[in-house]
A and B are shown apart, each in its own frame.
Chain A
Amino acid sequence: MRRVLTVYRWELRKLRAQKRTYLGLGLAAVVPIIFVTAVALHGGRHGPEDVAFGRYIHETGLAFPLVLLFFGSIWMFPLITALVAGDIVAAEDHNGTLKTILTRSLERGQIFAGKALATATYAVAAIVLMGVIAVVAGSIESGLNSLVTLSGTTISAAKGLRLVGASLLVYLMPILAIASIGLLLSTVTRNSAAAVVGTLGVSLLIQLIGILPGLGGLHPYLLSTQFNAWQGLLRVPIDWAPIGRAAWVCSLYALPSLAAAYVVFLRRDVAGG
């Protein structure tokens, strides 16, 4: 375990030294600022009515991160996640550094585990960064006021803030499933661009299946559906059913991907470079 942490710490250091990390985190930080700025400049009294919490953006800053969670699930957060997940193994293939680190004193499994942890850490950082900036910027625009839940009841700002935080955590489940798929593609394709685009493609494909007519029965088991599971938290009383389902459905996507990536990483020939 100590050796996995050694890899993990160095993976984080490597992420801090790479531009793409800042590209991803920058996107997560800039989008809420642009959104709030656009709302502020546009003025008016109406928000996007057809999106959960869209109509409340002029009443409380807490509505901003929730609206962004909805829009972000289409491609922004999958892209931000894939940017690092798809690169973290493939970049080492491209640089030829895989052979450099695999001939030291750490087992391949330890190196893989450190990389997986670093990928997850980055994804968590991106979502938290978006949430914090959206709440802060949104509250500057609309005030940190009470929030009207999806059940129509009003909850205090303090409780709303806790629920927004919890929503971000629930949202991390499908995000980490995307990260696992990205890690698998990164390990298998050995090509960063292919893995990033492929991960985004898988995410969009699952959404496409979700809107095909006649496939409604699949809906609860699609990864894209789990991006809305957090809405259960904002009902009174809290509806845990979608959250529980998200937990196991996301595991069904994440664990086989991770296991396959692990096995491939352990067994593959490191040629080239």
Chain B
Amino acid sequence: MAGPVVEVRGLVKRYGDVVAVDDVDLNVETGDVYGYLGPNGAGKTTSLRMMLGLIRPTAGSVRIFGRDPQLSVRALDGVAGFVEEPRFYPYLTGRKNLELLAAFDGDGAASRIDEVLDVVELADRAGDRVGGYSHGMKQRLGIAAALLRAPRLLLLDEPTTGLDPGGMRDMRLLIRRLAEDGITVLLSSHQLAEVEEVCNRVAIIRRGRIAFEGTLADMRGRTATLYRLRTTDPDRALEICAAQAGIADARLDGGREIVFTAEQDAVAALSVALIDTGVAITALVPQAPTLEELFFRFTE
């Protein structure tokens, strides 16, 4: 398919003096499982609400499959999802809730009710009123309600929040399975492990602004990382490190090992420089920061 699935440009939402979302750009391509990562209150849900046409942006634009959800709900054809918790009519049964939503969707959605109830393993409780459902069951009914639309894009707002560990695992497995079926997924999360486990691309939002957008590998690569270097001639190597552009804080650690921080490109140049001067490298090891460390670097 031509063009990005979700294209967000310069998105701003202001509530009085409070800027909830500040000039956000996002690109979600077909087949992505896109993690929208940030601490609570960073503006993730507000962004998602604008993508779903629930609230009006103060400035900027959202295009989903090239169409503007602010103009018509038709822009959400092929799109499904929920913000915060999925909500249903507590006085109707799970099945009745889905029947209502299928009637609102039209387009054969009603014929998928049994199928989606099976996918989220709620078939045996579908006859009970939603008022009696647990949080996890409502969350699964939310996924079922989304799947009714046979979506090509799922927008999920912290889908595992409030679930027990088993529920979280099931939800992540489900998201992975849906992605394997070819559904593009944009999910917001404040849980790094989740994003690392299911997402291929990630945007980090911090106080309404995008701090990083790219692949997880990019994110690691683009950040200055601590390296440990062992060579045949530590003193000579230290001189080279000190002279080399992009190598910071080089120092001897324990007499034989050099530690420094640098980005990937600078490290590559350094290794060439060392070999050119006849210093052999016996070990050059990145002390890969955990995703969590990276996250804090971007958000603090």
A binds B: yes
Chain A residues in contact with chain B, CB under 8 A? 3, 6-7, 9-10, 13-14, 17-18, 95-97, 99-108, 267, 269-271, 273
Query: When the two chains form the complex, which single residue of B49, B96, B103 contacts A270, counting CB atoms closer than 8 Å?
Result: B49
7 nearest interchain CB pairs? A96-B87, A269-B55, A104-B104, A270-B54, A17-B91, A105-B105, A103-B52
B88-A100 in contact (CB<8A): yes
Contact with A along B51-90 (1 / 0, CB 8 A): 0111110000000000000001110110111111111111
Shortest distance between the CB of B54 and any CB in chain A (Å): 4
In the bound complex, what is the Cα–Cα distance between A103 and B78 (angstroms)?
11
A95-B107 in contact (CB<8A): no
| A96 partner residues in chain B, CB cutoff 8 A | 84-85, 87
Contact with A along B77-118 (1 / 0, CB 8 A): 101111111111111100010001101111100000000000
Show 29 A/B contacts (Cβ-Cβ < 8 Å), sorted by A. Answer: A6-B103, A6-B106, A10-B104, A13-B100, A14-B91, A17-B89, A95-B90, A97-B88, A97-B89, A99-B82, A99-B87, A100-B88, A100-B101, A101-B104, A103-B54, A103-B79, A103-B82, A104-B76, A104-B101, A104-B104, A104-B105, A105-B104, A105-B105, A105-B107, A106-B73, A269-B55, A270-B54, A271-B46, A273-B84
B55-A271 in contact (CB<8A): yes
Query: When the two chains form the complex, which single residue of B84, B91, B145 contacts A18, counting CB atoms closer than 8 Å?
Result: B91
A interface, by DSSP: helix, strand, loop or mixed? helix
A100-B145 in contact (CB<8A): yes
Shortest distance between the CB of B131 and any CB in chain A (Å): 10
* Nearest-CB residue, chain B, relative to A94: B87
Given A103-B80, A104-B104, A105-B104, CB of A269 within 8 Å of CB of B54: yes
| A107 partner residues in chain B, CB cutoff 8 A | 72-73
Shortest distance between the CB of A98 and any CB in chain B (Å): 8
A6-B104 in contact (CB<8A): yes
Shortest distance between the CB of A21 and any CB in chain B (Å): 11
Q: Number of contact residues on B: which range applies?
A: 35 or more
In the bound complex, what is the Cα–Cα distance between A103 and B55 (angstroms)?
11
Shortest distance between the CB of B149 and any CB in chain A (Å): 8
Shortest distance between the CB of A88 and any CB in chain B (Å): 13
B82-A106 in contact (CB<8A): no
In the bound complex, what is the Cα–Cα distance between A101 and B21 (angstroms)?
24
B76-A100 in contact (CB<8A): no
| B105 partner residues in chain A, CB cutoff 8 A | 104-105
In the bound complex, what is the Cα–Cα distance between A200 and B101 (angstroms)?
33
A101-B101 in contact (CB<8A): yes
Contact with A along B10-24 (1 / 0, CB 8 A): 000000000000000
* Nearest-CB residue, chain B, relative to A17: B91
| B96 partner residues in chain A, CB cutoff 8 A | 13
| B56 partner residues in chain A, CB cutoff 8 A | 267, 269
B84-A106 in contact (CB<8A): no
* Nearest-CB residue, chain B, relative to A272: B84
B104-A14 in contact (CB<8A): no
In the bound complex, what is the Cα–Cα distance between A95 and B107 (angstroms)?
26
In the bound complex, what is the Cα–Cα distance between A3 and B104 (angstroms)?
8
* Nearest-CB residue, chain A, relative to B102: A104
* Nearest-CB residue, chain A, relative to B84: A273
A273-B76 in contact (CB<8A): no
| B72 partner residues in chain A, CB cutoff 8 A | 107
Most buried by A among B53, B87, B88, B107: B87
| B82 partner residues in chain A, CB cutoff 8 A | 99-100, 103
B88-A105 in contact (CB<8A): no
Most buried by A among B56, B73, B80, B90: B73
In the bound complex, what is the Cα–Cα distance between A181 and B144 (angstroms)?
37
Given A99-B54, A104-B105, A270-B49, CB of A17 within 8 Å of CB of B88: no
In the bound complex, what is the Cα–Cα distance between A29 and B8 (angstroms)?
55
In the bound complex, what is the Cα–Cα distance between A99 and B82 (angstroms)?
8
| A108 partner residues in chain B, CB cutoff 8 A | 73
Given contacts A99-B52, A105-B107, A273-B84, 17 further A-B contacts (CB under 8 A): A6-B104, A6-B106, A10-B103, A10-B104, A14-B92, A96-B85, A103-B53, A103-B54, A103-B79, A103-B81, A104-B105, A105-B76, A106-B104, A108-B73, A271-B49, A271-B54, A271-B55
* Nearest-CB residue, chain B, relative to A99: B54
A17-B104 in contact (CB<8A): no
| B83 partner residues in chain A, CB cutoff 8 A | 99
In the bound complex, what is the Cα–Cα distance between A105 and B107 (angstroms)?
9
| B86 partner residues in chain A, CB cutoff 8 A | 100
| A7 partner residues in chain B, CB cutoff 8 A | 104
Shortest distance between the CB of A9 and any CB in chain B (Å): 8
In the bound complex, what is the Cα–Cα distance between A97 and B100 (angstroms)?
12
